[in-house]
Amino acid sequence: MIGRKLGKVAPFVMALALAACGAAPQTPAPPTAIGAPIQSLGPGEGAVSIVAWDGYIERGETDKNYDWVTQFEKDSGCKVTVKTAATSDEMVALMSEGGFDLVTASGDASLRLVNSNRVAEINTALIPSWKTVDPRLQDAPWFTLNGKHYGVPYQWGSNVLMYSTTAFPTPPDSWKVVFEEMNLPDGKSNKGRVQAYDGPIYIADAALYLKAHRPELGIKDPYSLTRDQFNAALDLLRMQRKLVSRYWHNAIAQTDDFKNEGVVASSSWPFQVNLLKGGGAPVDSVIPIEGATGWADTTMLAVNPPHRNCAYMWLEHSLNPKLQGDLAAWFGSVPVVLDACKGNDLLGTQGCTTNGLDNFDKISFWRTPTFDCGDGTKNCVPYYEWVTSYTAVIGGR
């Protein structure tokens, strides 16, 4: 999973200068409205501050071969500082506090940040590599609104079913193994041996399962649930509560549970699967017949960033194919720049396929639930109710 140091990124600095129309002013023109995009760039301010998922912004401290920060700092003059966040809700809270330039937000947070005026529309013309972004992601609904772009796609992945190959000699084909009590192929009950994700957006996983197994509910979109559909998902999750040994949000803690605590099945990320398999653990993963939820993360710009020019430089750098491929190899994710899948020593020739590139059409990507059901009706359950209800489920209520 580990490889070479990042190559020089001086060409992107030149590209940004050209995009800024040559003689840029010393400071960017102020926006005409809250969150309105700037039209030109100035020189870097010397720093950029990013809220990110753990492992998303690496400078070689964990492994010297994974470093997409050091050379950027040298070429841009922008010192990178990172505040890691463990959950989407924590990211929203940090961006509400202010003082940060960028955030690598997942789809369950991105529109919340837009609607609360915490992030700004970006000018894609100031990001020369925008044209290299996977066309399937350029106008994705989890970070665009009314035709405006509120960030730059960064990486994506699926919430796979990770399982013990000891407990499952044949791969499980349904999420039923984590939702309903049963004896597993090893002859033992799944009670106390499965996990669930510690986040309100996991309600969508239950809804996706019900969409396949209870068609009478009429679920079309696991993020747009009527009251009856939402209540049915909660009932399933309350039943699952009796089976779950732990609600996970820390990836490393989950790998420890699979190695040492007898956990045999859970929703997970390719990162944990690759980490465990790389260490010789008897695990594998599958996307079951019901499909899967997934995350597509977007680097979003704060409304009043302290270092706007350096932030735009990072947005351009984030699309560098070498960075994209290295990050995909490190995190177990899929690049948003498809050229990154070719010729990356860390990722290998099959890395993108291994991390789920071909699963795109099977994934229901995280999106912030709202009253708007997307079909002209306004009677769907909004996210704040997902938060309170899932907290109650975890608490046994």
pLDDT 10s digits, 97-138: 999 999 999 999 999 999 999 999 999 999 999 999 999 999
Residue 35 pLDDT level (bands cut at 50, 70, 90): low
Where do you find CATH 3.40.190.10 in the chain? 10-154+296-353
pTM, entire model:
0.83
Query: What sign does the CA torsion over 69, 30, 124, 19 have?
Result: negative
Task: Return the exposure string of 115-133: e unless at least 16 CB atoms fall within 10 Å of the residue's CB, then b.
Answer: eeebbbbbbbebbbbbebb
* CB proximity list for 43: less than 8 A, separation 6 or greater: 24, 26, 309
The residue among 349, 281, 299, 355 whose CA lies nearest residue 109 is 299
For the segment(s) 160-268+367-394, the CATH number from 3.10.590, 3.40.50, 2.60.40, 3.40.190 is 3.40.190
Average pLDDT taken over every residue of the chain: 90
Coil, helix or strand at residue 192: coil
Residue 37 pLDDT level (bands cut at 50, 70, 90): confident
Find the distance separating the first CA and the last CA of the chain, reported in whole Å. 42
Residue 59 pLDDT level (bands cut at 50, 70, 90): very high
Task: Return the exposure string of 246-262: e unless at least 16 CB atoms fall within 10 Å of the residue's CB, then b.
Answer: bbbeebeebbebbeeee
What does the pLDDT look like over 209-234, one tens digit per residue?
A: 999 999 999 999 999 999 999 999 99
Measured CA to CA, the distance from residue 226 to residue 76 in angstroms comes to: 49
- The CA angle 246-192-255, to the nearest 5 degrees, is 50
Asked if residue 193 has pLDDT above 70, the reply is yes
Residue 271 is predicted with a pLDDT of 85
Arithmetic mean of pLDDT, 175-187: 98
Asked whether the beta carbons of 77 and 25 are under 8 A apart, the reply is: no
CATH architecture of 10-154+296-353: 3-Layer(aba) Sandwich (3.40)
Is residue 21 left, alpha or beta, with left meaning phi > 0 and alpha meaning psi from -120 to 50? left
Cβ atoms within 10 Å of 136's Cβ, excluding its own: 14
Instruction: Choose between 31 and 191: higher pLDDT.
Output: 191
Residue 374 is predicted with a pLDDT of 87
Give me the helices (H) in 318-375, please: 321-331, 351-354
